[in-house]
Every structure is written in structure tokens, then in C-alpha cells.
Amino acid sequence: MSSTLPALRPSNIYVSSLLAGTKWATSSLTYSFPTSSAHYGVSYGSSEPSNAFGTFLSAQQGAARTALKLYASVANLTFHEITETASQHADIRFARSNSPWTAWAYYPNDNDTGGDVWVNNTSRTYDAPRKGNYAYLTIAHEIGHALGLEHPHEGTAMPRNRDSMEYTIMSYRSHVGASMSSGYTNETWGYSQSLMMYDIAALQHLYGANYGTNSGNTVYAWTPTGRAYVNGSAVSVAGDNRIFQTLWDGGGIDTYDFRQYTTDLKINLNPGSWTLTSRSQLAKLDAGGKKLAAGNIANAFLYENDTRSLIEKALGGSGNDTITGNQGANTLRGNAGNDRLVGRSGDDVLVGGSGNDTLYGDSGADRLYGGSGADIFRFRAVSDSLSSARDTIKDFERGVDIIDLRSIDANTNVAGNQAFTFIGRAAFKGAAGELRFSDGLLSADVNGDAIADMQVNVARLTMLSKSDFYL
């Protein structure tokens, strides 16, 4: 059996609140499914081996193996299955007993109980675990304890705005603000299908991050049926069309693909943010079905600000989608529908596709393609397209598309938000708020020094007029 160490607590209360105080000293752990109570010590724990001992059912063993793979995929951990004997004991042992009325597990410790998982042997509640149901969540939750995670309401508690299954499978609350007295209130297939964002962060604090998981260029695709694909290969899904998961990716140039959807998608690539595919796929978290999960797919947080785990690309569907990028170099494609694309920082490529789209490059040297339809290229700050990092509008169509500068104060010398004055091809005259276009380059002077503070390349055009702008 492996030894253990104290777990140092970080300053982040959301992560610290999930740490029990101990962790395994090694990243390579063994697990087993004991077949006899004799494999445990005589004065063991709470006498679980002598209270209707039972080996894990085949379905439970499969669920445990699947859940361990989830843990290994996000943290620097490996798990090796061994055969439990009187002389060979695994670090994490799975068995059934009537001692727990539901289930429990022991935190990492140097006694013979350390890491052991016990599930009730009388109730049939845990006999058929499958991703997305209560039985599967229970096994995954108990493995969390076996690795050093505790409930967020214990000790120094997690702030209530994140103490729920939406953010950690260690929570006793089905949704933010739920009471713990009534137990979980999720619908049958409305339980977390993965480790959630704070589980991943806590595990990585304890054991480090696994950047080998899907470290190449990976395409993650989802469908309205709940079926999901990784690089074209189908992966296991819940028993309904629900999608309720957090995704960790180890590296590469990765893509979220939602092209099968006709709903108005809300795609967000920022760490710790949620993507919404459709309300019909949101897990129902209370008995009346009124409390819905915060989203369908959450992005894991960065580990120690390492950007390898970012998702770089997103493909929208045929609805009116909103797609938001992150600090990386993103490629966002709206496809059909009237889409809203927001690049955020980084040198991004935004492609509206068909429909009347609105494109926000934000900071960085972005390439903007409106596609067909009446598109708006919106700039919200001078820093969105500096002279040293110009955006390029690749397909501006005069009389159809618009360049929107209304959010920018054209004259920083006076209070308020002033409008630009378009002066055509004329040179700056030293008046703040002048906007000119010449030789495919749009230039703006906001302080009156006759030097361009903001510049945007407009490809293929030699002339623009006031009607091409919202000033």
C-alpha cells in the first residue's frame, strides 16, 4: 500500500474547500475488487467487512474503471488493477457492505482503510451505474474521497455560489442554493457526467495536470441526441439526450463542433465558462424540472496559467449563435444564422458565414470575414485594432455591411462619448475625432495629434463613404 502526505492548501477558497488534508505520495496507484472479507484486517474501520460483505457487481466494476480513467485523464495519476489477496492489497479497494446506508470512502491515510470505497449492499440503487445517473455519480464521488477530496460544505466551506453539482461532484447540493436536507433532486439522467471544473482544479493542485490527454489536434462534436464524438469516434453518453460535463484537453489546436444544431447556441471557449447547446439538453436539477444546469459543457480552468488546455476553435450551427473566444488565437465560424462572434484577446479569425452576423475582433490582429448577408464589424475600443496590431476586414461589401465605431470615444480630450467625423481620403488636420480611409487603410485619431491611434485594414477596397459606418 502506498504512503501518504499532507496536502498543502492553496489560497483559492474554491479549490481549498475541496481538500481533505491528505494525498497519496505517489502518482501510480493500484486498485482492486476484493472477493472476500478476509482480505481486510480484523479490526477494520467501521466493521464494513463483517456487515454483509459483497464484491462489486460487474456493472459497478465497469463504472469504477471508467471513473478512474476520468481521474487519470485530468491529473498526473495512473491506476493499475491488481487481484486482491491476503498478502497483496491495493491502494483503492472497492466493495459492498451494509455499514454505509448509501456509500462512503476513506481519505488517503497510512492505515489499512486508506483509499477504500464502500457501497451499500442491500439497496439496489447502485446496481446499474451508467454515466449520467445517480449510481455512477456515487462511485465517481467516492473515488474523489479516496484521492483526497472532501465535501465543499465541510471545514472551510466553499462559497455557496459554487457549492453544487454543476461545479463539483463532491457537493451534496443538486444546484446552487439547494438545501442538503432533501438529498439530491436531479432527474434520473440529470447527474454530472464527468468530473466538474473545481474537482479538476483540486485534483491538479494535489497531483499535477495531465497534458497527455488528447494532446493532438482534437475535434469534440456534440449532437441534439446527446451523442458525442472525439475525432469522429463515438463516446459513451448518458441514458437520455442530456449533456452535463466539464472538458479537459491536454494540448493541440482543438475544436468544438456544433454543426448538427439548429438551436441558438451560446458557445464560450473561456476557462471556467459554460456552453449552452439547447435548453432541452440541460439537466433538470430539481423535482419540478424548473432548476436547470448552468450549461451543457464547461471548460476546465487553466492549471498554473498553462494555455495548452485551451480550446482554440468553434463551429456553430444553423441557429443565431453567440460564439466567444478566449485569450488564445481562435478561429470562430458562425455558419448559417445571424451570429455574434467575439474574439477576445489573441490574433483571431472570425467567419460569420451566411446570415446577418456581428463580428467583434477585440484585441489582437484579427482577420474578419462577414460572409454573405448584411454584416456588422463592431469595434469597442481603440485597442481592438492598434496600428501595431491591425485587424483586417477581408470581405467588406459596400452598401450591405457596416463598420460600427459607436462604442469608441472619438475625442479623448473632452468628457463623454464623442462620434467620429469621416473625412474621406483627406489627411488628418490635428482635430480629435477624425476618421479617414486611403489605400485600404482606415485610420482614426482620437487625441488630435494627427497620428493614427487606431487602424483597420479593409481588403480589396479603395474607397469608403460615411454611409459605410456607424459613427
Enzyme catalytic residues: 142
Rounded to 10 degrees, the C-alpha dihedral 41/43/48/54 comes to 30
Cβ atoms of residues 364 and 389 within 8 Å = yes
Question: How far from chain centre, in Å, is Cα 40?
Answer: 40
**Residue 393: all three cell numbers together:** 476586414
Burial of 308 (0-12, 13-18, 19+ CB in 10 A): middle
One-letter amino acid of 421: T
54-55 and 92-97 strand pairing: antiparallel
Cβ atoms of residues 373 and 435 within 8 Å = no
For 156-172, give the DSSP string: SPPPTTT-STTT-TT-S
Determine the Cα–Cα distance for residues 93 and 396; give it in Å rounded to an integer: 63
Phi then psi dihedrals of residue 467, to 5 deg = -70, -10
Cβ atoms of residues 115 and 92 within 8 Å = yes
Assign 207 to helix, strand or coil: helix
**Residue 121: all three cell numbers together:** 449492499
